[in-house]
Copies of this chain bind each other. A is one copy, B any other.
Amino acid sequence: MKATILTIGDEILIGQIIDTNSAFIAKSLDKIGIDIHEILSISDSRQHILETLKHLQNQVDLVIITGGLGPTKDDITKKTLCDYFEDELVVNPQVLAHVTELIEGFYKRPITQMNKDQALVPSKATVLNNKMGTAPGMWMKKENTVFISLPGVPYEMKYLIENEVVPKVIKEYKRPFIIHKTILTYGQGESLVAERIEAWENNLPEFIKLAYLPNPGRVRLRLSARGTDENMLKEAIEENVISLSKIIGDIIVGYDENETLEVILGRLLTKNKMTISTAESCTGGKIAQMLTAIPGSSNYFKGSIVSYSTEIKTEILKVPQELIDKYSVVSREVAIEMALGAKKLMKTDYAISTTGNAGPEKGDSPAEVGTVFIALATKNGVICEEFSFGQPREKVIDRAVNTAFEMLQKEILKNV
């Protein structure tokens, strides 16, 4: 079963917004065994939409359309779908009741004609109820293809995919199995990993595909097996993961498809009843932010001192002014004192600190742009490493955050 994801909106084509919806939809469909044929973004142009619908007709089983369902003039998806299906817009009483309740009841605003027009749907469409907003989802079939139109607002789209689209597809279609397994490695580059596992890769059965997903400092390997016998696929993946781990077990840090290092760390800390705090200069709170993005992080994360200015390093983290004068704010000595200061102040088992120059220009320190010191204080003392992360600023910050997580993980694994 094949699907194409179609995003409609000029704002995507001029690069004003990043299309995050398609990845969410792709992942949700992939999980239930639907092959994503293509992901396509086109403009808010009637002609372009009509040509694209025609092109996709009978090429795929499902077309998931997002965007262009708003109440304003540039939102033409609904009208154009109606034209494509040679249909007419009619008021859907159930949608109208919902829109009225949402605007007048929840938002306490007088309802406008534009609000009411959200309840107009093509007469041939099956409505997918959007509890999160005013634009309903629509399911319309023509020949061998179902066209599903969803609003582009991410949480409305997510709600509809999870609560309407996926259940309806599962109920109405038989699908093959796709099993994915992702292996997270760190510390070695893509080429080196590939050379180490070459013989293993050549021995993979036909129905298992391997993909390399490189990021700075880490490589994910993804195995995908496809077929009709779910158990056989699972066993084959399992066997190949075991044989792989015999070859590169030294660099494997995790397995879960959605697992990030922060999630793994959270689990390790929770399991060992340990706590962490951070003292962040160049990462500006991003370590704290990524840790706290995870539900349940209050079990192990106590807090962070984002010490962007020197006074906060000396007054709150108690870094001696003499050290800063002697070695500068971007130095091993200061990173160590920051980590020790945070550990003491926030009474945690671990404390991570960062100090560096993220660029683009030199700051209060003679350190080169891209230089970062990361220190980790533990019950056994403190370790500190120096890195050169180059440029741009955003990469320096991201690599510092990832590296901090890696140092922490190594240290926890040493002690448990």
Q: Does A361 touch B at the CB level, under 8 Å?
A: yes
Chain-B contact segment, one of A77-85, A186-194, A234-242: A186-194
Q: Which residues of B contact A27 (CB under 8 A)?
A: 14-16
Complex alpha-carbon distance, A393 and B224, angstroms: 30
Does A15 lie within 8 Å of B11, measured CB to CB? no
Chain-B contact segment, one of A120-128, A169-177, A285-293, A407-415: A285-293
Which A185-220 residues have C-beta < 8 A from chain B?
189-192, 194-195, 201, 209-214
Q: Contacting A11 at CB < 8 Å: which of B211, B312, B316?
A: B211
Q: Does A13 touch B at the CB level, under 8 Å?
A: yes
Q: Does A18 touch B at the CB level, under 8 Å?
A: yes
Q: Does A17 touch B at the CB level, under 8 Å?
A: yes
Q: Does A395 touch B at the CB level, under 8 Å?
A: yes
* Copies of the chain in the assembly: 2
**Interface flags, A263-307, vs B, CB<8A=1, else 0:** 000000000000000101001111111011101011001111111
Which A84-136 residues have C-beta < 8 A from chain B?
107, 109, 112-115
Q: Contacting A15 at CB < 8 Å: which of B28, B288, B306?
A: B28
Does B293 lie within 8 Å of A71, measured CB to CB? no
Q: Does A247 touch B at the CB level, under 8 Å?
A: no
Q: With A15-B28, A73-B210, A289-B286 as given contacts, are A363 and B305 in contact (CB-CB < 8 Å)?
A: no
Does A70 lie within 8 Å of B190, measured CB to CB? yes
Complex alpha-carbon distance, A37 and B48, angstroms: 9
Q: Does A1 touch B at the CB level, under 8 Å?
A: no
- Which residues in A have some Cβ–Cβ distance to B below 8 Å? 9-20, 22-30, 36-42, 44, 70-75, 107, 109, 112-115, 153, 155, 158, 180, 182, 189-192, 194-195, 201, 209-214, 222, 224, 257, 278, 280, 283-289, 291-293, 295, 297-298, 301-309, 311-312, 315-316, 345-347, 359-361, 363-364, 392-395, 397
